[in-house]
Structure 1
């Protein structure tokens, strides 16, 4: 993946990244204090939402506050945390969005669309909760934060499919989120479109673009390679959990949620459930999936190649 940095030097990039993270955390802390959280809970949830970690001081996660104002604040903060740090830096320094306009628009529109559809599902079901639970769930799952306020399993089969789509999507490259990332999907769709055009007109030179930005062939191959490795890891994780006695939906969604660092899954591993029933062998496999996804797949797989160790 082609990825823009906030500064040319690694030290400057690390410094600016830390500054943006601390700023986001500070804004989150103030917002959560304003909606009524205690200082202890506000600090914990501010750090959790800024890093899209999803850990909560409440057993029922964000739903334990039973406050729409808290849910609204967390939703906005989760969406903001899913935005690339490069964008925040460019906006602060007055440089505009640059090449990130299409990615940001796609990210926002995707969350809105999933949120509206989930809200419709929540309203049409007999499950307890409110319409905003659907929007909250869309933001939480897409950004990989993993806060929960309701159980999407109770909203019907369509809601389950939407949750899986949100889990597989991820937010923006350059944010604190895990997942596949929007830019990879844009690159893959662009690569598929370009290949179709080549099949129609073999002599035509087709360039994959995101907006007006051309994407190199290496970046396209990397995106497809990432998808292939993710698919293999997902199949292996699903087989492992199925072998541990979980139904196919739980096994698949649990593996997907761990690989893309989301947390809540569906079925026996749903948002209001936990992974405590997974045996040690399954937990070991899921731990590897989480590490694999957090380090962008290829980084951890490179450790198992002889070429890396020979080079040293």
Structure 2
């Protein structure tokens, strides 16, 4: 393990976190909130620690996959620890575990909260909660790659692989650094576009910024106790559309920028993703049509919740915990499907399910025709064995982590649906679950031990499991 370069990059991450905290500082000044000093103090602390960690440039430029995964995992942990300090010293929370849970939930774009009444929380704190979604949506290391020149061949890609969601990560441009810039250009452009549409609908600027940050990062921290339910149908439709757009593989947007429209619309994952949304929305609309006054209301709520759950955003316009069992079951299944790879959404990812289905079909064909040779293809390209193997291994690891987490959380003695959906919500970075952790409830009922398990799940889910799991392997920490 090249500790020097890992320490150096973590220091750089702290510099960026200090800069990000200027937004809640400005918010506190605008609304004349005394608790804003907590962000200034924490930002100063980030700068001081960052200065210590980056005091010397690493002499050893070796930077392999191991360093990439460990750097990303530790960066997110350190970033979350520092990001939770303002909640404690600002008086919003008194329990350090709660502050860590809330911050990790923000950065991992989960949106699960322990707060019972968000409307009494200072606006600077609410701004920070929502802004952490936007920071974590595309990934802080991806942002860092846009500016920083790391050492060692392939070091940029090793960082990007560890933080970017999906079974495989590639370069859109000749270099990883230029790829990171393109991704953030698309991300910022879509963020500004949503802000404009929400402002046109009469949403206040503060609400617009916080809701947009949550939508762009597919996070879901609300600034109202009823989440999005209190806003007009137009605003709910705008949020629905942008949740779905941010759940699409950003490669599709890059192809559109390059005027390769046909290639963009032919992406199998995107077509499957949109198909799942259409089918499930239609079914749920029919299933809940008698609950609401009009068919249009049923369609609006169904489309919103399907978009919110499959993209793992977690906003709500209604208490879907009271929906018929078939609709609730579909929403739980969508928690696991998740959004597209290469998007800001969480979950297992549509591409992995596409690969898994293709693998099953190939195996069935091989059983019928043992001597046949059939290659797996996606978007017209042959799937490498490494991608298929990585998908299978990921699913095995996912099931093991999920099962063990449900067991540990079960010691709090809540009902099975609560425990199951709480872990599903955390590991898939969604936010609300069912029963005691439904859209009108929160995660404050769990013990500190259960919260720490769920905190680990949120980080593991956002970082695709392996960066966090590697921290527990002894060989990871051996020096070169």
TM-score band w.r.t. shorter chain: over 0.9
1:73 corresponds to: 238
Distance in 2 of aligned mates of 1:274 and 1:139: 21
**2:399 matches 1:231:** yes
**2:292 matches 1:130:** no
Asked if structure 1 preserves the Cα contact closer than 8 Å seen for 2:362 and 2:376, the reply is: yes
What's the CA shift for 1:135? 1.1
Higher mean Cα deviation, 193-202 or 129-138? 129-138
What's the CA shift for 1:309? 2.3
Can you list the C-alpha shifts for 1:86-130, whole angstroms capped at 9, x where unaligned? 111110121335376211110001011111222222223479993
1:152 corresponds to: 320
1:200 corresponds to: 368
2:259 corresponds to: 94
1:83 corresponds to: 248
Asked if structure 2 preserves the Cα contact closer than 8 Å seen for 1:125 and 1:154, the reply is: no
Asked if structure 2 preserves the Cα contact closer than 8 Å seen for 1:114 and 1:166, the reply is: no
Higher mean Cα deviation, 86-95 or 203-212? 203-212
What's the CA shift for 1:61? 0.7
What's the CA shift for 1:51? 1.0
Asked if structure 1 preserves the Cα contact closer than 8 Å seen for 2:252 and 2:267, the reply is: no
1:29 corresponds to: 195
Return 5+ residue gaps in structure 1 as ranges: none
Secondary structure at 2:362 match in 1: helix
Asked if structure 1 preserves the Cα contact closer than 8 Å seen for 2:346 and 2:461, the reply is: yes
**2:175 matches 1:9:** yes
Point out the structure with max Rg over C-alpha.
2
Distance in 2 of aligned mates of 1:144 and 1:208: 28
Query: 1:163-242, aligned counterparts within 5 Å?
Result: 163-242=331-410
Distance in 2 of aligned mates of 1:182 and 1:43: 29
What's the CA shift for 1:202? 1.6
What's the CA shift for 1:37? 0.4
Asked if structure 2 preserves the Cα contact closer than 8 Å seen for 1:127 and 1:154, the reply is: no
What's the CA shift for 1:2? 3.1
Distance in 2 of aligned mates of 1:127 and 1:163: 22
Can you list the C-alpha shifts for 1:66-96, whole angstroms capped at 9, x where unaligned? x111110000010110011111111012133
Distance in 1 of aligned mates of 2:469 and 2:397: 10
Distance in 2 of aligned mates of 1:114 and 1:8: 39
Q: Answer 1 or 2: higher relative contact order, Cα 8 Å, separation at least 6.
A: 2
Shift of the 239–130 alpha-carbon distance from structure 1 to 2, 3 Å rule, reads farther
**2:301 matches 1:301:** no
RMSD, aligned CA: 1.9
Distance in 1 of aligned mates of 2:381 and 2:257: 22
Secondary structure at 2:297 match in 1: coil
What's the CA shift for 1:3? 3.3
What's the CA shift for 1:254? 1.0
Return 5+ residue gaps in structure 2 as ranges: 1-166
Can you list the C-alpha shifts for 1:168-217, whole angstroms capped at 9, x where unaligned? 11111111111111101000111111111112222111211224222122
Asked if structure 2 preserves the Cα contact closer than 8 Å seen for 1:61 and 1:148, the reply is: yes
Shift of the 127–245 alpha-carbon distance from structure 1 to 2, 3 Å rule, reads farther
1:53 corresponds to: 219
Asked if structure 2 preserves the Cα contact closer than 8 Å seen for 1:237 and 1:252, the reply is: no
Secondary structure at 2:229 match in 1: helix
What's the CA shift for 1:43? 1.1
Can you list the C-alpha shifts for 1:14-45, whole angstroms capped at 9, x where unaligned? 21122111101100100111111001111111
Moved runs in structure 1, 4+ residues, more than 6 A? 126-129
Secondary structure at 2:222 match in 1: coil
Asked if structure 2 preserves the Cα contact closer than 8 Å seen for 1:82 and 1:175, the reply is: yes
Asked if structure 2 preserves the Cα contact closer than 8 Å seen for 1:237 and 1:251, the reply is: no
Distance in 1 of aligned mates of 2:292 and 2:198: 30
Give the TM-score of the pair, scaled to structure 1: 0.94
